[in-house]
Each structure stands twice: as C-alpha cells, then as structure tokens.
Amino acid sequence: MSSDKDGAVPGIGAVSSAYSTALAARRRSYGPNTSLSYEQPLMIVRGHGTYLYDDQGVQYLDCVNNVSHVGHGNAEVAASASAQLHTLNTNSRYLHPDLPRYTELLLTTLTATSNNSMSSGNSGNSAGGCSNISDGCDSGGNCIRAGYSGSGTRSSSSNATFPGIQPQSQPQSQRLQQQQKQPPSSSPTISQPSLEVLYLVCSGSEANDLALRIIAAARPGATHIAVMGGAYHGHTSALIQISPYKFWGQGGTGRQPHVHVVPCPDPYRGDNLDGRAAARAALAAAARAGGRLGGFLCESVLSCGGQVVLPTGYLKELYDELRGAGVLLVADEVQCGFGRCGEAFWGFQTQGVAPDIVTMGKPIGNGYPLAALATTRELAAAFSAPGMEYFNTYGGSTAAVAAGLAVLRVIQRDGLQHHAQRVGEYLLSGLRRLRATHEVLGDVRGLGLFLGIEVVRDKASKRHAPATARWLKERMKARRVLLSTDGPYDNVLKIKPPLVFGIREAEVLLGQLSEVLERELTTDVLQQLSQREDEVWGSVYGPRYLQYRENERMLYSGLPPARL
Amino acid sequence: MSSDKDGAVPGIGAVSSAYSTALAARRRSYGPNTSLSYEQPLMIVRGHGTYLYDDQGVQYLDCVNNVSHVGHGNAEVAASASAQLHTLNTNSRYLHPDLPRYTELLLTTLTATSNNSMSSGNSGNSAGGCSNISDGCDSGGNCIRAGYSGSGTRSSSSNATFPGIQPQSQPQSQRLQQQQKQPPSSSPTISQPSLEVLYLVCSGSEANDLALRIIAAARPGATHIAVMGGAYHGHTSALIQISPYKFWGQGGTGRQPHVHVVPCPDPYRGDNLDGRAAARAALAAAARAGGRLGGFLCESVLSCGGQVVLPTGYLKELYDELRGAGVLLVADEVQCGFGRCGEAFWGFQTQGVAPDIVTMGKPIGNGYPLAALATTRELAAAFSAPGMEYFNTYGGSTAAVAAGLAVLRVIQRDGLQHHAQRVGEYLLSGLRRLRATHEVLGDVRGLGLFLGIEVVRDKASKRHAPATARWLKERMKARRVLLSTDGPYDNVLKIKPPLVFGIREAEVLLGQLSEVLERELTTDVLQQLSQREDEVWGSVYGPRYLQYRENERMLYSGLPPARL
C-alpha cells in the first residue's frame, strides 16, 4: 500500500499525515502477519501509568498491556535500566554482583509454595502491607489516590516478601493456606521439588523452549508432551508445535503425534473439571501413540485459552497423577505471574502445587526484554551433565538484571500484589453486576488483575459470540478504553492492565462498558451481530470447535487419538 | 559451593569479599551449565568504549564483545533507549513512527548487493567518508585520536549509506565490485531476491528459529536443512538440532537425519574449497536420506566455526547450485554484520551473493535486546498466507527500535565500517608479522574487526592446538587483554572487539601477544603444552575430528551418510 497523501487511509478514515506515512511504511516493510490492534490501529507515542496517548494527545485507558506491569514509563525501572545501559551492559560470562543478587531474590518468591516459607511470620499485618501506590493516575498522568479500601470479598492477602528488599511480615492468603494442606516435610508420596536454580533468558518463548530442552535432557526417551487446550507457549518452531492455540488456530497445521492436548476445564459450562481424569487420559493417549510423556506445560491461569481460572484442586490432582508417572511439570507464568493474581505472587501458588519448572516473562522487566526459567537443582544438573554450555547473549545481561531488580523492588514497595487483589475484586464484583443484567455477558472470571468476560449469544445456550466480543472491544476503544479479545473462539474480553490500574480506572471501565451495553447494544445491533456470529462460526469457529470436541472424545474414550 | 569468608576461593585465590560472595551466590543459584570466562572469572562492573573495568578498577582491553558494537556504555545509544524507556516501551501491535522508520532504514543497508545500489555514486570520496570517531580510548576511558591513516593494504572502501541519516556519496569496495559481475537486470538464470520485508525479534536465536519457520511455510515438504560444519545458529530446540557446533560438540547428541552438514572450507589446509561440489553433495545427501532440502543456513563469515573467511566465490557457487534446486538461502549475520567486516556492511556482500533471508542480532542494539530477520516479499507472503499471526512481545518494541536506530546512526556518522576495515587491516598485518616468526600461530585471517588466529602444534603438521590456544588466552588476560577461543577444536583465538577499537588498541594487543610469545612461551612451557595437547586431543578433540572427517567422506562419496 502506498502512502496516502491527503490524510485519509482507505478503511480507516481521516488521520494525520504522520499516521498515514507510518502505516504505509509499516505495511510496506514489516512482516505482513504481524498484527495491529483494532480496526483502525492506534498510533501510540506516550505512556504513563495505566494510560496511553496517541499522536494527537488522546488518552486511552490501557486495560491490556500486562507487560508494562508496574506502569508505562515507570520512572524507577526506566532509571535503573538506563543507568546500567550507561555503565555496563554485557553478558553473563563475566561475574557481576547483580546477577546472583537478582536470581536469589527471584527464587525467594518461588519458595512460598514449594517449602511453604511464605506462611511464616503470620503476624496479621495485613494493613501494614497495604499498597502505598496511588489508586491510579489522573488524565494528565499525575498520580492520585482514590482512597478506596476494597470490597473485601476475599480474606486478607499478602504480597510476597523478598529478603533484602524491605522485608515485611505479612499474612498469607487464607485460601492459599487452605490449599497447602501438606507441609513439605510430610509430603505424602513424592517430595516437593525445590526451585533453587535460575536461568535468565530473553523472552517467554526462549524460557518455554528451554523448558523443552531440560525435559528432553532429564527424561530421555519420554519425548511426548502434554499441554492444555487453547494454550499458547511461544513462537519458536518447537513451541508452535505444542501450542493448540496456534496449531489448531488460523493457519495451523494440526497436532503432531507427540503432542497431547488435555481438554481445558470450562467451569462456566461445567466441562472437563476432573484433573485426575485429564492426567490419566493424557498418559494413556501417549502410551497408545507408542510414546511416553516427558513433560506437561500449563499456564497457572489460562490466558490465550480464554482467561480461565482452573477449578480449585484441579492442577493439584493433575500434578499428583502425572508426577507419579515421572512427568515433569512446567508452570508457565509468562502472562499471569509477578503478583498479578493478587492472592499469590505466582499463579501456581493459587493452585497449591509445586512445579518442577517455572517459566516467566512479560512483566518481569516491565518491557525491558527479560525472561527466566526456574527449576530444581536436580533438573539443572541433568541438563548440565552432558557438558553442553547454555549461553544466551542477552539473558542475564547487566541492564536486563537491573530492570528485573527494579521491577521486584517496585512490586514489593508499592504493594502491587495486594493492590491487584483489591482492585481486581472490586472490578470483578462490578462486572458480575453487569453480567446479571446483560444477556451477552456469559461469564466473568479471573484472579486479581487477570480477568476475562466471556461473551455469548445468550445465557441459555452459552454459545460463543466472537463477533459480539470484537464489537464490544471496538466500541470500548471508541470510548478510549483498550481491551483485547482472546480464547480459542476469540470470544473472551481480556482485562490485564498494568498493575497500577486503580479503583478509579475500574470505575471508568465499568461505566463505559455499562454505557456500551445499555445504549449502543440495541436490538438492531444485536440482530446484526447475531447474523455475523453465524457467518464467522460457520466459516472458522465451528470447525475449530469440532476439532476440540473430537480431541476430547478421543482422549477420554481410549480410542487411538485422531491426528487433528 | 558455599561462600568463602576469608576472601580466598579454591582454585581462584585471593579476591574481594564482594567477588567471593557473588561467585558463591551465582554457583548456588544460576544455571550450572552457563559459563564464566577464564580460569579465574572476571567481575566486570563498568565498561567504556573498548575497555572493561573490574571491581578493583583494573582496566582490560576488550577484544571479544562484539555485541557492544559501538562501544561499551555508548552514551548516544544508552540515551536513546533510556529516553524511550521513560516515554513509552510497548509492543508492535500499536503503530509507532519509529518502527517503520527503522525497518526501512535497516532494509536499505541490505539492498546494496541484491540490487547493486551501493555501487551508485562512485564519486571517489573515500577520504570524505573517513571515520570521525577516535582511534580508541585511553586508559581512563577518554577518547583520543591516534592520527593513524591506515596501512592501505586494501583498496578504498565505503560505509553503507542510509537515506535519511546523513547520506554520503562514497565508493564501493573494489573487491566487492569485482565479485558482483552481473548487475541484477542481467541476472543469468534466476532473479536476485530483493529483501524488502523485516521482522523484528528479540534475539539472534529467535531470528534463526523464525527463518526455519519461514522455510517450512514456503517449502512445504522440503523438510531437510543444510548447514556449515562447525556452525552455531542459536539455542532453541530446533536450532541446536541444526548446529554442528552443539550436536557434535560436548554433550551433543549427534546429527538428526534431516540435517546435512556441508564440510566447512578450510583455506588454511586447502580443504573443502569447492562451493558447487558442496552444494551438490548436500542435495544428494538429502535425496539419499529420502528428503529434500528446504533451506541452507550459513554465517557469511564463520564465527564459532573458527573465524573462517570463505574463499572468494565459494558462497556464490554454493548459492547458485542450491537456488537452482529451489533451496532457500539464509545468511546468518548475527555475529559478523553491521559493518564489522569492514569492506561491506554485511558479510554476505563480501561474497557477492543475494540471500533469501538475512538474520541479524548481537550488535544490532549495542546490547539492548533486539534482533531481526529480513526476507523477500514473496517469502513473507508465503509465511503469512495461512493466516497465522506472528507476534513477538519484545521484538519491535519501542525502546528496542530506539536502540536500533541509534546504533545505525552512530555506525554511519562515526564511519565505523570504514574504521573497522582500516584498523582490521592494520591488526591483520601485525598478526601476520607475528605469525611469520612463531611456530604456534598457524594462520591469521579475518575481515575488518572479525579476526582469528589459528593455533597449531607446528606449521608443518598444522595440527590443532586447543591447549596452547587456551594458554595464550589466559596469559593475555593476565596482561589485561581479553580474547576468547573457539572453533570446532577450540584452537582459534577470536578477535571481535567493539568497533571503536582503534589503532592504539591494536598496538596494545600486538605488543602483548608478542611479549607472551617471546617471553612466556618458553621451551619448557611448549613441552608442557605439547603433553596437554595430547591429552585433550585424545579424550575430546580427536573423536570429534574423526566425526567431522567421517561426515565429509560420507557426504562426498555418495554413500548413505552415517548418522554421526
């Protein structure tokens, strides 16, 4: 497409000449299968807190960018990385004091579940650990306090405490404690893995790809992998193969014989809720295919899978069963980690499980490229034993570590985990109220500031409504509130804002969504959308739905699984 | 290993307590198969230009870190990335003017060979394009000028010109011109691919892994891949499989049936110099294995392969033959690109070839994590056609683009390509003089500031001498000059410093190396090293050498290739 000189772009309308120039140049020179969000893409040139600004100075409430975890342009993280970029930014083949300082600190956050240490110091200082960040930012980007103290629908929660970073004595989430019934010393059958070794890499994809390499080294011969339906684990060749979101999604080439897909729990529809049955089915499917499962990868809260919160106990049952069969268990925390879930620092901790490997990415550096993999001493030794060096040019480089350290510091000091829980609960209750009166809002769910709204044709049928979800996203964008859609049927509105998103922002989101639903989603519009749903369902989502159902049937029936 | 409290670390000796604390913490908490350079690792805390400083303030001349392309802590790049980190650092799903600005600029550097545009404007302004950077930095990190005007062993060269960044009319390397005998309009059989589409990713590994995905999409069914002996293309699961450096190296699990290894040219020993024969052998090997080659990946100057400069015309012959068979040609420029080769901006341009895909990494952001893949419109379309989105969280993010733009700006403004050629030629002549009088310096070679010294037992036998190479590296380090060793037999001293490395630094390197060779490499030491060579050769390098030789024999003999 050539540059449009009169300031109008076909299908987009009047824009600035800088916009049309940039759009034309991007279309000319950048990968055509990279995407721009929204029907009319936004040219965003500035960010502050949980707000983004386009080239005309228009402010948007960002409810989407979970990478900018502690806020767009967070001054502390930016200053920390910047200082290091000026001083030294080199690889991990030299010793640097900050690298082990960071790795030990990050590992500390993981020990909460695996050795229950987060439960120590239950001195009830829930108020003391309360957020000292603002409850958001005003329209000019200036921080304000809303003074809201939370709806209190959940019991007291805590932020992970990091030795060395203003340690605070705080209570543990009661729910988390309830789930952790066995202390590690009395573990019933298999000892709980202790995550003591870290690898720093460059992206969540690199972290998950490394997890596959570790599994291959530690479980030679067990070359099959199980994953959750709808999962996306990254963009490398090996990860596309184990991501149903991709291999069953648009342009996908189907399931490889060594990959087994556990049908994703769907608490809203009451499907696939038995973790133990899922594990047994996956083990059996691998055996029928002539292989053996080496690993199981699963996001602790499913993101691309549709913002699905796993049922209480689900992952514990699944882990127990798979661990008994020698399968290595990988918790993918790339999307949901670092306090976002509110009630725990890591998503897997909300399920009371102890993974063998945890992968981390996106929020870890607030946008500075950084990612990590934590594992046990035993698995790291198995990976290292053959003598092949693991080197990652940017992973563990000095400026990345500086960004990572600053992010942890800000999360802890500003109580962002607790803040996420408090604001998330407020938002969730508001969304539930909206759901009660609007037929298309089938389900609202989530943990902390990782929420989803499942959009359906109607509450009775619970049929997926991707066209309506997209329409809502676009209408919200017109009202300067940014959401995205996702899930295997693209019918889930995702809410995963920077964690500095506050009560005030939640009110804006709720207010605008309410207006769209009440004023814009008229009977006429609903009829038009209904027709569009039929079209997209018939051409794309219907066949995909049948693929998933076929997989599910095969997995549980014990028949040889069809290669879908 | 526990922290050592008295300031001495076993096998390392007296160090600061900060050092021993950091070392102990790193060994406790960081991946055990990540490596620290040198027998006694360095704790580097500051960098400036081409110098690194340890925690005691000791200065080291860095001849190794090619990632810090325009100099450690380069203020312009750091300031550019820092400003963007403060303003906005988000992903490429929003439009941003800098992304297409950068992609179009970067693509401009690639068109030089593929459509010969770099040859235009041959107005002979060779002096006008001369470096305006310093010839290095003094011991305090202050920039100085050495006033050296070059040894002139090569004809006039040029820096790539970037439209929009102070374009200058400059002559093209005569050698490059000689190699480019056919202008694209009269291309003999197959049209030259035009690299017009870019993907920004996060690391060189991600770029090469993406190349594999594009090959798979564009050449369905042609699932076999050919690579160069000794090659390393990255650390993802798929890339380890196509990296002989890894799968035949320590801890490697051997060659996969779909991977075919072209024996690396060894101009020093006169082996494997025929590109056409190599291509035919690879095609035949794939056919015998029941497959078809989809792609061939090759670094334009081999790095981990041992700093090998391909013979003139080699890659052209190989490309011609493989292209005729429909094989996609990937130039891996992760190590050698961005002006380092001196006589051209890209290594592949020194071979007069036109790849279908070019991958870039390391120097591209001066350490800020960034990498890229350039390809043709046709291949991008083939990759995109099925409709699968390619999304890379950090690739093309705003701060990465800012760093990338600043790096291009500095390279161009400071004439670093020309500088690399001038200093490289000076250094190469100095090394050649040393070689003439020292038996262990078997070969010195390279382009620009990408040089290698092949260390051998003696000039007659040319037997690899890894123990001696390592000893030289350690002795140079004791003299505060940092080198590394590499190559399939780890007997090549690598020189690939930040490009601001100047004549003054070249003199330091040459002077110190000369002293080590003349004063420290005594008859006694030589005898001890000789014994050590026997040991390491017998246990590690000998078997590997036989593997390579076996592969070579099989590939060229037409026998079914053994799976080594």
For chain B, the domain total comes to: 1
> Which of B29, B99, B238 is nearest residue A237 as measured by Cβ atoms?
B238
CB contact under 8 A, B399 and A361: no
CB contact under 8 A, B30 and A198: yes
CB contact under 8 A, A202 and B197: no
Percent of chain B with pLDDT over 90: 78
> Which of B33, B78, B89 is nearest residue A383 as measured by Cβ atoms?
B33
SS3 A509: helix
Question: B9 vs A552, which has greater pLDDT?
Answer: A552
A 10 A CB-CB count for B28 gives 18
The phi and psi torsions of B93 (rounded to 5 degrees) equal -80, -5
Give the C-alpha separation, A409 to A414, whole Å: 8
A 10 A CB-CB count for B535 gives 10
The pLDDT value given to residue B495: 98
Mean pLDDT of chain B: 87
What stretches of A93-135 adopt beta strand conformation (E)? none
CB contact under 8 A, B90 and A72: yes
- Inter-residue contact A362 to B397 (CB < 8 Å): no
DSSP states of B469-513: HHHHHHHHHHTTEE-EEESTTS-EEEE---TT--HHHHHHHHHHH
A 10 A CB-CB count for A106 gives 24
> Which of B30, B95, B397 is nearest residue A22 as measured by Cβ atoms?
B95
Give the C-alpha separation, A532 to A467, whole Å: 6
> Which of B47, B246, B399 is nearest residue A90 as measured by Cβ atoms?
B47
Q: What is the ipTM of this complex?
A: 0.89
CB contact under 8 A, A75 and B81: no
The pLDDT value given to residue B162: 58
CB contact under 8 A, A78 and B85: yes
Do A5 and A114 fall within a single domain?
no
Kindly report which listed range (A56-60, B187-191, B441-445) carries the lowest average pLDDT score.
B187-191
**Interface membership of B12 toward A (CB under 8 Å):** no
Encoding tokens for residue A414? Answer: 């500003």
Which chain A residues in 235-254 lie under 8 Å from chain B, judged by CB atoms? 235-238, 240, 246, 249-253
Do A115 and A1 fall within a single domain?
no
Give the C-alpha separation, A135 to A506, whole Å: 10
Give the C-alpha separation, B212 to A429, whole Å: 47
Q: What separation in angstroms does the CA of B487 have from each of B184, B232, B303, B490, B555?
A: 36, 10, 7, 5, 21
HEC profile of A446-485: EECCEEEEEEECCCCCCCECHHHHHHHHHHHHHCCEECEE
> Which of B75, B202, B240 is nearest residue A203 as measured by Cβ atoms?
B202
Q: Is residue B10 part of a domain?
A: yes
Q: What is the mean pLDDT of residues B390-398?
A: 96
> Which of B34, B90, B95 is nearest residue A390 as measured by Cβ atoms?
B34
Do A320 and A242 fall within a single domain?
yes
CB contact under 8 A, A392 and B203: yes
Biggest CA pair distance of chain A? 73
CB contact under 8 A, A94 and B41: yes
Q: Is residue A466 part of a domain?
A: no
Do A18 and A103 fall within a single domain?
no
Do A2 and A118 fall within a single domain?
no
User: Which distant-in-sequence residues (6+ apart) come within 8 Å of A377 by Cβ?
Assistant: A194, A196, A197
State the distance between the two ends of chain B, measured CA to CA, in whole angstroms.
37
Q: Is residue B105 part of a domain?
A: no
> Which of B82, B87, B388 is nearest residue A251 as measured by Cβ atoms?
B388
A37 to chain B: which residues are within 8 Å by CB?
93-94
> Which of A29, A52, A253 is nearest residue B104 as measured by Cβ atoms?
A29
Query: Is pLDDT at B300 greater than 60 in this prediction?
Result: yes
> Which of A82, A391, A392 is nearest residue B78 as measured by Cβ atoms?
A82
What is the residue range of A30's domain?
A: 1-36
pLDDT digit string, tens, across residues B424-449? 999 999 999 999 999 999 999 999 99
B246 to chain A: which residues are within 8 Å by CB?
388
Do A407 and A298 fall within a single domain?
yes
Q: Closest chain A residue to B32 measured between Cα atoms?
A: A384
B366 to chain A: which residues are within 8 Å by CB?
89
**Interface membership of B392 toward A (CB under 8 Å):** yes
SS3 A52: strand
Q: What separation in angstroms does the CA of B274 have from each of A65, B226, B267?
A: 53, 16, 11
Q: What is the mean pLDDT of residues A449-467?
A: 97
Q: Is residue A304 part of a domain?
A: yes
The pLDDT value given to residue A56: 94
Band of pLDDT at residue A180, cut at 50, 70 and 90:
very low
The amino acid at B26: R
Which residue out of B28, B38, B62, B89 would a mutagenesis test of the A interface target, given it has the greatest number of A Cβ atoms within 10 Å? B89
Q: Closest chain B residue to A85 measured between Cα atoms?
A: B78
Which residue out of B72, B86, B370 would a mutagenesis test of the A interface target, given it has the greatest number of A Cβ atoms within 10 Å? B86
Q: Is residue B326 part of a domain?
A: no
**Interface membership of A12 toward B (CB under 8 Å):** no
Band of pLDDT at residue B547, cut at 50, 70 and 90:
confident
User: Which distant-in-sequence residues (6+ apart) come within 8 Å of B521 by Cβ?
Assistant: B438, B440, B472
Q: What is the mean pLDDT of residues B18-45?
A: 97
The pLDDT value given to residue B14: 75
Among residues A413, A428, A447, which one ends one of the domains?
Answer: A413
Q: Give the helix/strand (H/E) hosting B199.
A: strand B195-201
SS3 A375: strand
Mean pLDDT of chain A: 87
Q: What is the mean pLDDT of residues B355-379?
A: 98
Which chain A residues in 422-441 lie under 8 Å from chain B, judged by CB atoms? none
Query: Is pLDDT at B209 greater than 90 in this prediction?
Result: yes
Q: How far does CA A553 lie from the centroid of its chain?
A: 28
Encoding tokens for residue B135? Answer: 């010839």
Question: Closest approach of chain A CAs to the CA of B62, in angstroms?
Answer: 12
Which residue out of B3, B27, B29 would a mutagenesis test of the A interface target, given it has the greatest number of A Cβ atoms within 10 Å? B29
Which chain A residues in 243-302 lie under 8 Å from chain B, judged by CB atoms? 246, 249-253
Bridge partner list, A13: A9
- Inter-residue contact B225 to B524 (CB < 8 Å): no
> Which of B86, B203, B212 is nearest residue A78 as measured by Cβ atoms?
B86
**Interface membership of A40 toward B (CB under 8 Å):** no
Q: What separation in angstroms does the CA of B390 have from each of A483, B89, B92, B206?
A: 20, 19, 11, 12
CB contact under 8 A, A213 and B237: yes
**Interface membership of B2 toward A (CB under 8 Å):** no
The pLDDT value given to residue B425: 98
**Interface membership of B75 toward A (CB under 8 Å):** yes
**Interface membership of A36 toward B (CB under 8 Å):** yes
B359 to chain A: which residues are within 8 Å by CB?
none
**Interface membership of B335 toward A (CB under 8 Å):** no
Query: Is pLDDT at A221 greater than 90 in this prediction?
Result: yes
Q: What is the mean pLDDT of residues A424-428?
A: 98
Query: Is pLDDT at B46 greater than 50 in this prediction?
Result: yes
B212 to chain A: which residues are within 8 Å by CB?
237
Q: What is the mean pLDDT of residues B139-146?
A: 34
CB contact under 8 A, A52 and B21: no
Parallel, antiparallel, or unpaired: how do β-strands B224-228 and B259-262 relate? parallel
**Interface membership of A156 toward B (CB under 8 Å):** no
The pLDDT value given to residue B15: 86
- In eight-state DSSP terms, residue B132 is -
pLDDT digit string, tens, across residues B371-383? 999 999 999 999 9
Q: Is residue B18 part of a domain?
A: yes
CB contact under 8 A, B237 and A252: no
Which residue out of B19, B236, B482 would a mutagenesis test of the A interface target, given it has the greatest number of A Cβ atoms within 10 Å? B236
A202 to chain B: which residues are within 8 Å by CB?
202-203, 205-206, 369, 394
Give the C-alpha separation, B26 to B36, whole Å: 10
Q: Give the helix/strand (H/E) hosting A328.
A: strand A328-332
CB contact under 8 A, A32 and B384: yes
Q: What separation in angstroms does the CA of B47 have from each of A193, A302, B75, B364?
A: 39, 42, 11, 18
Give the C-alpha separation, B11 to A148, whole Å: 58
Q: Is residue B27 part of a domain?
A: yes
* CA-based nearest residue to A488, from A549, A442, A424: A549
Q: Is residue A61 part of a domain?
A: no
Give the C-alpha separation, B2 to B5, whole Å: 9
Question: B153 vs B231, which has greater pLDDT?
Answer: B231
pLDDT digit string, tens, across residues A277-326? 999 999 999 999 999 999 999 999 999 999 999 999 999 999 999 999 99
Band of pLDDT at residue A547, cut at 50, 70 and 90:
confident
The pLDDT value given to residue B166: 40
* CA-based nearest residue to B86, from A410, A76, A409, A499: A76
Bridge partner list, B357: B330, B375
CB contact under 8 A, B381 and A32: yes
Percent of chain A with pLDDT over 90: 78
CB contact under 8 A, A389 and B34: yes
A236 to chain B: which residues are within 8 Å by CB?
206, 209, 236-238
B210 to chain A: which residues are within 8 Å by CB?
235
CATH number at residue A298: 3.40.640.10
Whole-prediction pTM value? 0.89
